[in-house]
Structure 1
Amino acid sequence: MNAGLLLLRLLLAGLLAGHAAQKLLGWFRGMGPDGTAPVFESWGFRPGRPLVLLAGTCELTGAALIGSGTATPLAAAVVMGTMIVAAAPNHPNGLWAHLGGYEVPFVYGALALALATTGPGAWSVDHAAGMEGASGPLWALAATALAVTAAIPALTLRRRNLRTTAPASRPAARDD
């Protein structure tokens, strides 16, 4: 089980770090902060550049914490909150990614929730620090509550910004 949890953590961390690198550095065919900012603004996340930097930093922080198995409930909350916000622009398209849906952020957030529930396993900083008791349904519930609470301001700002923007001026959402 510990090997499986380590593999799960490292895979999720690698994918999150890749998305962060697309936003922050333009790696992996990403557009970097300046190229991603107009996309964020079209989704209602304004001002675009600072919010791109915030999203990328949250993804990178979540990746580092999840990958190392450090403060796992907090790490899960960071990832889930970021993914709740990331799912919003594609929510009208439904779940499936091939139809422009929110499948990718849903899966990343769900994996983070699973890790908050199970804990990171014995091969983690949490275990080495004697924090293996910081997991389970109550910790997962607390992480989810923190994630939702943290996502609300960004989603509220987005909703307000979209109400003040004419629908014809918004480009179609795209996956980064």
Structure 2
Amino acid sequence: MSNHVEAQQQRGYDIGLLLLRACLGLTMAAHGAQHLFGWFGGVGLAITAKSFSANGYLAADVMAVVAAVSELLGGLGLALGLLTPLAAAAIIGTMINATAVKWSNGFFIPKGVEYEIVLAVAAAALALTGPGRFAADSFLPVLRAHRLRYGVSAVALAVVSGVVVLLTRS
């Protein structure tokens, strides 16, 4: 394959990753802002904390803040391609808990877990593939060249932290 064709393919991959990061990241950031600030028609932190309490989370106020900040900052990180593995881990861990809370409602929305699973898997895919060249990580020496081990470590961190938080539920 010629260098020109390879360069075009790489640009296509990078644009595709940018679109995925922007869509997933901005969706999650907006969702976090709904929980944290009540923006975009959200319920705000007080009602989010009540929901956490009703779902058996100890220290529901703290857990609501952690989840909302994880969604907001993880989403912004993904959208910008900044610290992509950690941003993805924030989303994955939060979606593991959201999935567990809603698991008994079945798979399909409006009450099921399909949306949360798609968000978690998309974040995991970005952690494993890297953000592409159109990302802030391209300017960070440690993350400039994507390393699969960073993605695998981030997914493992998300799963472990998500499960640990689930184990604190009463």
- Normalising by structure 1, we get a TM-score of 0.82
Does 2:163 align with 1:152? yes
User: 1:1-176, aligned counterparts within 5 Å?
Assistant: 1-98=13-110, 100-130=111-141, 131-136=143-148, 138-158=149-169, 161=170
Contact 1:116-1:135 within 8 A present in 2 as well: no
Q: Could you tell me how far apart the structure 1 residues matched to 2:89 and 2:162 are?
A: 10
Paired residue type of 2:117: F
| Shift in CA distance, 49/116, structure 1 to aligned 2, threshold 3 Å | same
After superposing on structure 2, the runs of 4+ consecutive aligned residues of structure 1 that deviate more than 6 Å are none
Deviation at 1:135, TM superposition (A): 3.8
Unmatched 5+ residue regions in structure 2? 1-12
SS of 2:131 mapped into structure 1? coil
Q: Could you tell me how far apart the structure 2 residues matched to 1:147 and 1:94 are?
A: 23
Unmatched 5+ residue regions in structure 1? 162-176
Q: Could you tell me how far apart the structure 2 residues matched to 1:55 and 1:126 are?
A: 24
Q: Could you tell me how far apart the structure 1 residues matched to 2:59 and 2:86 are?
A: 26
SS of 1:97 mapped into structure 2? coil
1:169 aligns with none
% same residue: 38
Contact 1:73-1:134 within 8 A present in 2 as well: no
- Normalising by structure 2, we get a TM-score of 0.85
Task: Count residues in correspondence.
Answer: 157
> What's the RMSD between the two structures over aligned residues?
1.5
